[in-house]
Amino acid sequence: MLLGVDFSLTATGVCAITEAEAECVTFGSKPGEWWAFGDRPREIAKSVDEWHGEDRPAWVIESPSYMSKGRGHDKVLVGWHMFVDHMIYELGYDPPLLVSPSQVKKFATSKGNASKRDVERAVWRRYPDVELRDDNQADALVLAAIGAAAYGEPFNGALTKYQQEVIEAVRLGKDK
Residue 95 confidence (pLDDT): 97
Q: Is 176 contained in some domain?
A: no
Query: Per-residue confidence at 67, pLDDT binned at 50, 70, 90?
Result: low
Q: Is 10 contained in some domain?
A: yes
Q: Is 143 contained in some domain?
A: yes
Residue 66 confidence (pLDDT): 64
Query: Per-residue confidence at 53, pLDDT binned at 50, 70, 90?
Result: confident
How much is the average pLDDT of 115-128? 93
Whole-prediction pTM value?
Answer: 0.93
Q: What is the b/e burial string over 131-144, where b = at least 16 CB atoms within 10 angstroms of the residue's CB?
A: ebeebbbbbbbbbb
Query: How many residues belong to the chain?
Result: 176
Q: Is 130 contained in some domain?
A: yes
The CATH code of the domain that includes 46 is 3.30.420.10
| Burial class of residue 27 in the structure, from the number of CB atoms within 10 Å of its CB (0-12 exposed, 13-18 middle, 19+ buried) | buried
Q: Is 135 contained in some domain?
A: yes
Query: Per-residue confidence at 55, pLDDT binned at 50, 70, 90?
Result: confident
Residue 31 confidence (pLDDT): 80
In the predicted structure, residue 88 carries a pLDDT above the cut 70: yes
Quote the domain boundaries for residue 94. Answer: 2-171
Of residues 33 and 163, the one with the higher pLDDT is 163
Q: Is 68 contained in some domain?
A: yes
Query: Residue 103: how many CA atoms within 13 Å on its side-chain side?
Result: 31
| Burial class of residue 95 in the structure, from the number of CB atoms within 10 Å of its CB (0-12 exposed, 13-18 middle, 19+ buried) | exposed
Q: Is 9 contained in some domain?
A: yes
Q: What is the b/e burial string over 99-117, where b = at least 16 CB atoms within 10 angstroms of the residue's CB?
A: bbbbbbbbbbbbebebeee
In the predicted structure, residue 155 carries a pLDDT above the cut 90: no
Query: Per-residue confidence at 33, pLDDT binned at 50, 70, 90?
Result: confident
Total domains, the chain: 1
